[in-house]
Amino acid sequence: MATCAFLGLGVMGGPMARHLAAKGHDVTVWNRTEAKARAWAEANEGKAAATPAAAIAGASYIFMCLGDDPDVQSVFDAFAPSLQAGQVIADHTTASAGLARRLEAAAKEKGASFIDAPVSGGQAGAENGQLTVMCGGEAAAFARAEPVMTAYSKAITLIGEAGAGQLAKSVNQICIAGIVQGLAEGLHFARANGLSEAKVIEAISAGAAQSWQMQNRWKTMVDGKFDFGFAVDWMRKDLRIALDAARTSGASLPLTSLVDQFYADVQAEGHGRWDTSSLLSRLNR
């Protein structure tokens, strides 16, 4: 079993750390809100640390699951002076590829390894230990970390060098944005034309239009319930990262840019905490 530090106990990080502990790994956690770290430690027979540096002391593996680039950078800076040769850092935050490349270089200076390892699957995937992990970094570091990450994952893929995992996560979010908007427009069209949404979905869901979003979200969308899954605020953060990367690489993302603005409309209505399927609410208004 591995000695692990887990930094960041939000709706994703808390369950991921719990799965590590449940698999028998020795887990020390840190969170900005100390009380949350202590509560996690009591509930999961782990340990809580007061600082990131204290959390990583003696850990073979350091996992992070934070909010955005500045959060990752500040937490990394807090423990970097304490990094030891041989430690492996896996960052599960959805952040930029540029940051991943800089942190990998900084870790190498200490003889440590860094893997960018953003996840897909949402809160339900974290709770059920069924996340998909997209990784960037050196193959040797990935080979060491992969068996530990299986505690909370159903699929783990090394995409390429540092930053490749973050770029793959952008591909994931680009695809989701288009699918959700298409589903929202289809349901909106059905209602506008007096069709039973349930019968339409029954008819088309066995064909080429089928998607995870259709299977899992159409009913809550029609019912105007948007308290499931990934929040609009976080989706806009992820799309910002994707659009920034597109500008750098010269990729053209016209649909993603448009859907990002639709999500901005949802935010402007005060619903940034609704899930991503709330695009339908904008159309129905």
Do the beta carbons of residue 7 and residue 29 sit within 8 Å? yes
Q: Residue 23 catalytic?
A: no
Do the beta carbons of residue 183 and residue 218 sit within 8 Å? yes
Q: Using DSSP bridges, classify how beta strands 131-136 and 119-120 pair: parallel, antiparallel or unpaired.
A: antiparallel
Do the beta carbons of residue 187 and residue 222 sit within 8 Å? yes
Catalytically annotated residue among 36, 169, 199, 225? 169
Do the beta carbons of residue 248 and residue 263 sit within 8 Å? no
Q: Calculate the CA 211 to chain-centre distance.
A: 20
Do the beta carbons of residue 226 and residue 274 sit within 8 Å? yes
- Sign of the torsion formed by the C-alpha atoms of 149, 150, 153 and 158: positive
What are the beta bridge partners of residue 155? 132
The number of CA neighbours under 13 Å toward the Cβ of 58 is 9
How many residues belong to the chain?
A: 285
Phi then psi dihedrals of residue 116, to 5 deg: -85, 125
Residue 236, both tokens = 């806009």
Residues involved in catalysis: 169
